[in-house]
Chains A and B, each alone.
Chain A
Amino acid sequence: MTAPLSAKNKEKRIGLFVCHCGVNISSVVDVEKVAQVLKDYPGVTISTDYVYMCSDPGQQMIIDTIKEKHLDGIIIAACSPTLHEKTFQEAARLAGLNPYQIEIANIREGDSWVHTDKEKATKKAIKIVKSHVAKARQNENLDPIKVDVNRRALVIGGGVSGLQAAMDIADHGYEVLLVEKNPSIGGKMIQLSETFPTLDCSQCILTPKMVEVSRHPRIKLLTYHEVESVSGFVGNFKVRIKKKPRYVDEKLCNLCGECEKVCPQVVPDEFNQGLSFRKAIYMPFPQAIPGTFTLDAEHCLGLNPVRCGKCKDVCDKKAIDYDMKETIVEEEVGAIVVATGFDLYTMQALGEYGGEKYLDVVNGLEFERILSASGPTGGEVRRPSDGKVPKSIVFVQCSGSRDTEKHMPYCSKICCMYTAKHAMMYRHKVPDGQATVFYIDVRAGGKSFDEFYMRTVEEDKVLYIRGKVSKIFKEGDKLIVWGVDTLTGKKVEVEADMVVLAMAMVKADGVQDLLKKLKIATDIHGFLAEAHPKLRPVESLNAGFFLAGCAHGPKDIPETVAQASAAAAKVGDLFAQKELIHEPTVVPVNDELCSGCGICITMCPYSARTLDPDRGVVVVNEILCEGCGACAAACPSGAAQQRNQTDNQIFSMLRAMLRE
C-alpha cells in the first residue's frame, strides 16, 4: 500500500519549543509538563518551554539551540500557524535549517483558548505536539520553486478604471495591453455630462487621458477585441484575444464621413442610450479613440456590394473591406487587471414605474445624455416623447437598490449624488421647472458631497420627499407619480412631465462568461471578489489578477481612479520581483508506482498533470500545481504523494494523536 519509513528518518534530531504565550497558554495548559513528557518521545533531542517564543530572546534561544544541538527539525508549540509560521521559518533559516523542517503545533487557538479543564487541555496539547513530532520526523528539506515573471500586463476594459490602470503600469516602465470590447475606449464615463460635486465636464476631463493612453509608447490598444481564453498562472499567462472585424481599416480611414452620409441603415445610437439614431457605419462619438469608422455587421444590409455597397463606393481611401474576418491574437502577460465596469439594472424589472412603456421615464444614464452638450438635444433638457421642455421632473432614487425582497439588496452608492446633480443641472437649465426627489436616505459621505447636496436643496430649491414611489402611470400627457411621504405618513401624488429613475448598478452585461474564462471569483451579485475586504482590496484571491472600478462593486469616479492606481501599484510590486516563489509542497509522481491510470489528471483543477504517452506515467508541471492534494487522495497506487504531507506522515500523525 504505502512504503515503510525510510531508515534515514530514524536519526532525525528534533527540538521542541513549548510557548507559554504569557499566560495565554500556560494558564490552561501545563506547558512544563508538555515539554517534560515529550523529552523521551522518539526523535526528540531536546524539549523546552519559554514564556514568549516569538520574542527576540525566544527566537534567539531557538536559533542557538538549533546550532548547538545540530537539530534538523523543530516543533514550535504555540499559536496558530497563520500568525507566526513565517517568524519561526525565518529564525530557522538564520540558524541554517531548511524552513520546511518547521512544524507549528497550535495549542492556543485550538486548545488553551477554547477549553477550561486543565487536565484535559494538557492531555490534548500533548497529543497535538506528538502528532507534529511524528510528522517532523519525515519532513524533507524543500526549496521553493522559482518562476520567471513576464513583465507585461493585460488590462481588460477601457473605461476610466482600465485607462488609469494601463497608464500607471505603463508609467512604471512596463508594457500594457489594453483590451476593450467596444469600438472606442472611454467606457461609461465618456457618456456622462457633468461630474459631482465639482461639475467638471466629464468628457473634458476624460478625453485627455484617452489621448494620452492611445499615444503612450508602452500601451498597445486593442479596441473592438474580446478576451477569448486565459491559461497559465501568475507571472506567465497565455491569453487568446478575439479581434472583431471592423470592416474599416483604421489606418486608412480619414474620418471624412462620406460613408455615413450614404448608408441607408438607421439604428438606435448606443452612445446616446438609444435616444438618437446612428447609421450602420458609424463613429461612436466625435472624440472616439481610435479615430475610425466602424461598420456594424449586424445592422449592415449584408456586407455585400450587390445588395448595397454604397459606403464602399464613396470611400476614396479604399478603407472599407467587406471581407475582413474575425481573427485571434495570442499574447503572453504576467498580470491581469480586470476593469470590466458595470451596467444599469433594466427598467423592465421595475414594471410599476413604467420605464418600458413610457418614453418619458428614463434611467440615470439616459438623463446624462439629455444633459450633455454632446447629447441628442445638444444639452437642452427636452423630453424624449415630444421634445417639449419638461416643467416638472420627478427623480426616484434607489430604483432597484436597497430592496432585499425583490431587487438588489445593496446600495448603489453613487445615485444620491448624481440625482442631486441631475436635479441641480435641471434647475439651472430650466429655472421655472420643479424638481422633486423621492429618497430613502441621502447618503452623501464623500469629500464635499454633503455641501453639494445641501446646495441642491437650499440654493436650487429642489424638493426632497422621504419615501418610496409605488406607481407611475400616464394621464393625458402627464405622468402621475404615486408615492408616500414617510415623514408625514401621507400618500403623495406628483404630476410630472418626465421621470428619472436612478437604477441600481449591476454587473456588466455578459461579464459572467468572461469571468468564467478567467476563473476568478465573484460575490453573489456577480461583482468581483477581493482577496480580503480590508487588507487586500484590489487583488483577486487568484494570484496575478487585480481588480479596478465598478466591476468590483458600485463606486464613484475618484474611488475608481484610486482603486485603478492601487491595482497598478500591485502589478508593479509583482513585476519588481526578480522571480516568483511557488510553494514546493506540491504533489509529484513516483514513476515506479504510477500505472498511468490518469485518475489524478481528472482530479486536478489546474491541468498540472498530464499523461506521458511514451512512458505510460503521469508527469506534473510543478509550477501549475497549487498543492491541494485532491490527486494524492485519489491515487490508487500511492504514486502521488504530497511533499511534507505524505500519506505516511498523515498515518503517523493519526497514530500519534489517537493511539498513544
Chain B
Amino acid sequence: MFEPQIMCFLCKWCTSSAADAAGTSRLHHTPNNINMRVMCSSRVDPQHILYAFKEGADGVFLGGCHPGDCHYVEGNYKTLRRITLFKLMLRDLGIDPKRLRLEWISAAEGKKYAETMTEFTEQIRALGPLHLNEKALVQEVVKDE
C-alpha cells in the first residue's frame, strides 16, 4: 500500500499543543505525518510548502489557532490569505491544491487533531504519490552540505 509522507507545520500555541494533547490521551492515528513546530502559522512561507513538496512530501498540512484566538493577534488571518492565494498557484504548477490543507485546531482539540491526521493521510493516499522530487520543478535553495 502506498504510504504518503505528510509534512505538518503546527503553530506552537494551538495545533502543536493539540498534538501533545492527542499524545497524552493516546489518540492513535496514522504515522505518516512529520511535524514541525513553528511559532505561528503565519511563519510558514509558501516557499517552505513548495520545498516540502519538492523534497518528497505528498501532502502538506498547516495547523493554526481558530479565528480570533491567534496568540499574535491576527497571524492566522494572514495565513488564511496566503494559503488561499497559494492554492491557486499550486494548481497552475500542476499540484492538486487538495494536497495542501489548512485547519484551525485549538489546544483543547486533541481529538480533532488525531482525526484530521488520519483523514488527511487517507485523502492523500487516495490521490497517490506526487513524485515532484523526480520532476525537480523547484529550484535548489539549500546548497549541499
Q: Which residues of A contact B (CB under 8 A)?
A: 1-2, 4-5, 10, 42, 80-82, 106, 108-111, 113-117, 120-121, 124, 127-128, 131, 137, 519, 541, 585, 603, 605, 626-630, 632-634, 642, 645, 647-648, 650-655, 657-659
Residues from chain A with Cβ under 8 Å of B35 in the complex:
106, 110, 128
Tell whether, in the assembled complex, residue B72 and residue A628 are in contact, meaning their CB atoms are under 8 Å apart.
Answer: yes
Tell whether, in the assembled complex, residue A605 and residue B73 are in contact, meaning their CB atoms are under 8 Å apart.
Answer: yes
* B53 to chain A: closest residue by CB: A658
B124 touches A (CB below 8 Å): no
Complex: A647 Cα to B47 Cα, angstroms: 9
* B34 to chain A: closest residue by CB: A657
Q: Could you jot down 16 A-B contacts, CB within 8 Å?
A: A2-B141, A110-B23, A114-B26, A114-B114, A115-B28, A116-B28, A128-B35, A629-B40, A629-B42, A630-B75, A630-B78, A633-B44, A651-B48, A651-B51, A658-B5, A658-B55
* A4 to chain B: closest residue by CB: B143
> Of B56, B72, B114, B145, which is within 8 A of A605 by CB?
B72
Tell whether, in the assembled complex, residue A519 and residue B48 are in contact, meaning their CB atoms are under 8 Å apart.
Answer: no
Residues from chain B with Cβ under 8 Å of A585 in the complex:
39
Q: Which residues of B contact A (CB under 8 A)?
A: 5, 7, 17, 19-20, 22-24, 26-29, 31, 34-40, 42-45, 47-48, 51-52, 55-57, 71-75, 78, 82, 114, 133, 139, 141-143, 145
Tell whether, in the assembled complex, residue A541 and residue B31 are in contact, meaning their CB atoms are under 8 Å apart.
Answer: no
> Of B19, B43, B55, B57, which is within 8 A of A642 by CB?
B43
Complex: A113 Cα to B7 Cα, angstroms: 19
Residues from chain A with Cβ under 8 Å of B20 in the complex:
80, 82, 106, 109-110
Tell whether, in the assembled complex, residue B73 and residue A519 are in contact, meaning their CB atoms are under 8 Å apart.
Answer: yes
Complex: A106 Cα to B21 Cα, angstroms: 13
* A108 to chain B: closest residue by CB: B23
> Of A127, A642, A648, A651, which is within 8 A of B34 by CB?
A127
Complex: A312 Cα to B142 Cα, angstroms: 79
Tell whether, in the assembled complex, residue B34 and residue A645 are in contact, meaning their CB atoms are under 8 Å apart.
Answer: no
Q: If the complex has contacts A131-B34, A131-B36, A659-B133, are A109 and B24 also in contact, measured as CB distance less than 8 A?
A: yes
Complex: A109 Cα to B39 Cα, angstroms: 18
Tell whether, in the assembled complex, residue A633 and residue B26 are in contact, meaning their CB atoms are under 8 Å apart.
Answer: no
Residues from chain B with Cβ under 8 Å of A626 in the complex:
72
Q: How many whole Å from B29's CB to the nearest CB in chain A?
A: 6
Q: How many whole Å from B90's CB to the nearest CB in chain A?
A: 17
Q: How many whole Å from B24's CB to the nearest CB in chain A?
A: 6
Tell whether, in the assembled complex, residue A113 and residue B23 are in contact, meaning their CB atoms are under 8 Å apart.
Answer: yes
Tell whether, in the assembled complex, residue B17 and residue A628 are in contact, meaning their CB atoms are under 8 Å apart.
Answer: no
Residues from chain A with Cβ under 8 Å of B75 in the complex:
605, 628, 630
> Of A541, A628, A647, A654, which is within 8 A of B7 by CB?
A654
Complex: A116 Cα to B40 Cα, angstroms: 30
A-B residue pairs, 5 tightest by C-beta: A109-B23, A629-B43, A630-B42, A628-B72, A658-B55
Tell whether, in the assembled complex, residue A658 and residue B7 are in contact, meaning their CB atoms are under 8 Å apart.
Answer: yes
Tell whether, in the assembled complex, residue A115 and residue B31 are in contact, meaning their CB atoms are under 8 Å apart.
Answer: yes
- Starting from the known contacts A630-B72, A647-B45, 15 additional A-B residue pairs (CB-CB under 8 Å) come to A5-B142, A82-B17, A109-B23, A110-B20, A114-B29, A115-B28, A628-B39, A628-B72, A629-B39, A633-B43, A645-B39, A647-B47, A650-B36, A651-B48, A658-B5
Q: If the complex has contacts A605-B72, A629-B42, are A110 and B24 also in contact, measured as CB distance less than 8 A?
A: no
Q: Which of B17, B27, B43, B78 has the most CB of A within 10 A?
A: B43
Tell whether, in the assembled complex, residue B43 and residue A654 are in contact, meaning their CB atoms are under 8 Å apart.
Answer: no
Q: How many whole Å from A309's CB to the nearest CB in chain B?
A: 50
Complex: A116 Cα to B17 Cα, angstroms: 21
Complex: A655 Cα to B54 Cα, angstroms: 9
Residues from chain A with Cβ under 8 Å of B139 in the complex:
1
Residues from chain B with Cβ under 8 Å of A627 in the complex:
39
Count, A-B residue pairs, CB within 8 A: 137
Q: If the complex has contacts A115-B28, A120-B31, are A630 and B40 also in contact, measured as CB distance less than 8 A?
A: yes
Q: How many whole Å from A7's CB to the nearest CB in chain B?
A: 11
Residues from chain A with Cβ under 8 Å of B27 in the complex:
114
Q: How many whole Å from A569's CB to the nearest CB in chain B?
A: 25
* A583 to chain B: closest residue by CB: B39
* A652 to chain B: closest residue by CB: B142
* A656 to chain B: closest residue by CB: B55
Q: How many whole Å from A517's CB to the nearest CB in chain B?
A: 14
Residues from chain B with Cβ under 8 Å of A658 in the complex:
5, 7, 34, 52, 55-57
Complex: A658 Cα to B1 Cα, angstroms: 19
* A135 to chain B: closest residue by CB: B36
Q: How many whole Å from A605's CB to the nearest CB in chain B?
A: 4
> Of A1, A10, A630, A647, which is within 8 A of B145 by CB?
A10
Q: How many whole Å from B144's CB to the nearest CB in chain A?
A: 9
Complex: A110 Cα to B37 Cα, angstroms: 11
* A82 to chain B: closest residue by CB: B20
* A104 to chain B: closest residue by CB: B37
Residues from chain A with Cβ under 8 Å of B44 in the complex:
633
Residues from chain B with Cβ under 8 Å of A1 in the complex:
139, 141
Complex: A114 Cα to B111 Cα, angstroms: 11
Complex: A585 Cα to B133 Cα, angstroms: 32
Q: How many whole Å from A298's CB to the nearest CB in chain B?
A: 35
Tell whether, in the assembled complex, residue B48 and residue A630 are in contact, meaning their CB atoms are under 8 Å apart.
Answer: no
Residues from chain A with Cβ under 8 Å of B143 in the complex:
4-5
Residues from chain A with Cβ under 8 Å of B145 in the complex:
5, 10, 42, 137, 652
Complex: A148 Cα to B62 Cα, angstroms: 37
Tell whether, in the assembled complex, residue A81 and residue B37 are in contact, meaning their CB atoms are under 8 Å apart.
Answer: yes
> Of A10, A127, A634, A645, which is within 8 A of B38 by CB?
A645
Q: If the complex has contacts A80-B23, A109-B19, A603-B78, are A633 and B55 also in contact, measured as CB distance less than 8 A?
A: no
Residues from chain A with Cβ under 8 Å of B48 in the complex:
633, 647, 650-651, 654
Complex: A634 Cα to B74 Cα, angstroms: 14
Q: Which of A117, A630, A652 has the most CB of B within 10 A?
A: A630
> Of B19, B72, B141, which is within 8 A of A651 by CB?
B141
Complex: A654 Cα to B6 Cα, angstroms: 11
Complex: A137 Cα to B145 Cα, angstroms: 11
Complex: A603 Cα to B72 Cα, angstroms: 11
* A655 to chain B: closest residue by CB: B55
Residues from chain B with Cβ under 8 Å of A645 in the complex:
38-39, 43
Q: How many whole Å from A118's CB to the nearest CB in chain B?
A: 10
Complex: A330 Cα to B25 Cα, angstroms: 50
Complex: A645 Cα to B44 Cα, angstroms: 11
Tell whether, in the assembled complex, residue A630 and residue B57 are in contact, meaning their CB atoms are under 8 Å apart.
Answer: no
Residues from chain A with Cβ under 8 Å of B72 in the complex:
605, 626, 628, 630
* B139 to chain A: closest residue by CB: A1
Q: Which of B31, B45, B72, B74 has the most CB of A within 10 A?
A: B31
Q: If the complex has contacts A630-B72, A658-B5, are A109 and B22 also in contact, measured as CB distance less than 8 A?
A: yes
> Of A5, A114, A632, A647, which is within 8 A of B28 by CB?
A114
Q: Which of B7, B22, B26, B72 has the most CB of A within 10 A?
A: B72
Q: How many whole Å from B112's CB to the nearest CB in chain A?
A: 14
* B43 to chain A: closest residue by CB: A629
* B24 to chain A: closest residue by CB: A109
Tell whether, in the assembled complex, residue B23 and residue A628 are in contact, meaning their CB atoms are under 8 Å apart.
Answer: no
Residues from chain A with Cβ under 8 Å of B24 in the complex:
109, 113
Tell whether, in the assembled complex, residue A124 and residue B74 are in contact, meaning their CB atoms are under 8 Å apart.
Answer: no
Q: Which of B29, B34, B37, B48 has the most CB of A within 10 A?
A: B34
* A602 to chain B: closest residue by CB: B78
Residues from chain B with Cβ under 8 Å of A2 in the complex:
141-142
